[in-house]
Structure 1
């Protein structure tokens, strides 16, 4: 894999401004003026939790007032994370306080990942510097790994926690570099679709590319495992995962092209063109880069309480509803949307509390219906019926204000021309159009794919299908 970093171009680690930032931000690799750069990204959940403890826990507030209190703050979170019996949970503390404490510490240890990676890179140039950084970050952002490391510190507390963590990370980086457990290809194969999607989104990729990359990765994994990982002639159990080669990419591309027109393929994939082995290789390298640059944060679900708090403060606020009726809207696009937005808000405001909860979990937090079943103690058919009822009410409200006879035909044509390859799935109309395309016969679907997915001229389509 090409190495954009060398010892001279390792980016400088930016300073964090205060104690809150030291325990609630995450490193992000970026590019500035065509050079690698590092920046800190905020995590709102950790910021809120830090402020909560600062307000409610006098000991943390006192530590924050001390100019040299940062190491003691780290120890404060460690005591919570390792289930210290002396720490009796207070009523105001969140139920997931131990998980949050681990997240605070992982954020704090980001700087030690950087310095450990830099130290190893100064001793060995076998791998790019960002690979060493990735090994360390993947380790600390795995809850079990970090917890074991923190508990082990009880035995060897003769040194500072910071020193202990950095020395441990240096050993971990060296070990992983030798045995290749975190090779780029292993990282690519083992990450979930959800993690890959989040990584690509953070790396500024959008649809239809994200769906295409994920679909391509599905078939690359199958080919690569068969040809390389599970092939005893190529690799023995426990050996380093070998690099993929052109034959792997070619075979994976053939699978992609053969499967893209099946009903199970995402619309964004079936609407696109066939790909080559070279294109498959380029896509997989993009996925690897995105995964390396954005390690998944430890178990970072949106909490129902946070969503409900935001709900109360904003989405269903009656004052905001009144404000929408009285404020002058200067932008013409906003004015055009105002009647439907207002109608939707009225419908949402009239929903029952249990309907609000389902909406928040399903559309806000991204819960699957199976997860909703466990969370709400409802069977999936009941959940499906309630979601359908809500969607139907919104559709009826939209029809009432939209006068469809005047604009539907034009909308469909514009959608085909502009959004066919990358529909906005959260838009109910566009989602319905995607569903409608799946109900066409195979020849009609092929015409749409060629004309609007691949931009083939109508004359050429007629010749090709004759």
Structure 2
């Protein structure tokens, strides 16, 4: 065969490099690729004398035969896509290098061209254009590259700043919300914080449909191929919608404060949003992780800042933790004095062996079966013996810190929230977030009262004039009822914080008990160097084998794991008289979990002794 070996021909028409697009025309299932290969193998057997161009002509004829079944046309289409795909991928990578931020540009170009190739009608237009030229024209792959290049350049010329801001599908709530989240993330990356982010996003919510209706869908604009500059009327309409709707129940609390916005403010905000989106695109090559930038760009605040103010110490947590740990030790020393069906000799084993955390060796049901009680007995033992005294101790510490009871604290907290943070709640404080949820659950007319009273700082008399159908006494009663509900939400959240903190403290304490046993056992392993390379430094076994060619790396790692597992088995039986042999798989999983945390453990032993080159 003069045009390559049979296998090369088969590969040309069955390997798809880019099968899907993140938007636009959907790709085909990867499971179709083996079927493409089988079909090509049969075709090559039938026509061994054919060249690549012959197969192109054959598939081209198939997709133009309307009488054929849809499945046959689909497969012919995919064979042609496969023929063009490798060349397309190479062309896109080379072409993207001519633009700033080539990685992000390359991904964008892949999307554009994938949407074209996987659209059968679009591909037919390209091939038809190639066939309509003279015999001296370039081959199909080169012609296709030129056609795709023109499509890319046309799209670049078509896009504008307002395309970047307003190219949103208004018919899909999910897509619109995703675009809103993308804008929020971009604004946080730009260094903009609340309440401005909520102001900008709320304005954008109304600007996009107004702009698209006036500039894209309007009869006078339909023939325009570009995203034109907005006009003053667009900003004026957006400002009007913003001011009318900012007191609605679904509007963010941040937009209910301050005076009315103007068209000039909306224009400035939208330009700021465009700049944030452009800068966000430039960062794509550094990180494609789009997880909640709000978390990264808000200052992290300890949840227990809830209890702190100017007159209280910021070291509250540092003070209460030692006190709770001392209480935990007192509990451990007096286990024989409590009432429980758990035998005395097994009581000290409950928390180290089966309190749930990452390194737990048993679950409660397994422990209960081993010591001859039911699971409920173990659960009550943990709750009554450990959690209840620790919560009592913490209640006492909190009351001392607050210097008053929780009712007074909740009243003061809600008062401060409404007067100082209503329009910009602290997203890092759990109580603030709980109050926001409580406000969002109120009836719309009650939310409006709050927004007028604390967002606009209206007096009761002004609210009466604004609403017209409410008396001052009625408004006062409703506001007092709302405050009472918010105070209850604050107390409930604080109580939940206490429970969560106690649970985390117990988890950390008994997780450390298991970790200490493994640290001791690890120090006695001969292959510590290999284990540190594998787990502390995250080296693959192949690389370790190259660095230490005389060592059997895989065998050394397996033996070390077995030693760590055996150490836990011996510790459990020797300390508590409980055999964990039937649960070896769970012990193995706990060891693996601990090893995978070696890189973040602050252990001098892990970084002493052996030296090696990396």
Shorter-chain TM-score bucket reads 0.3 to 0.5
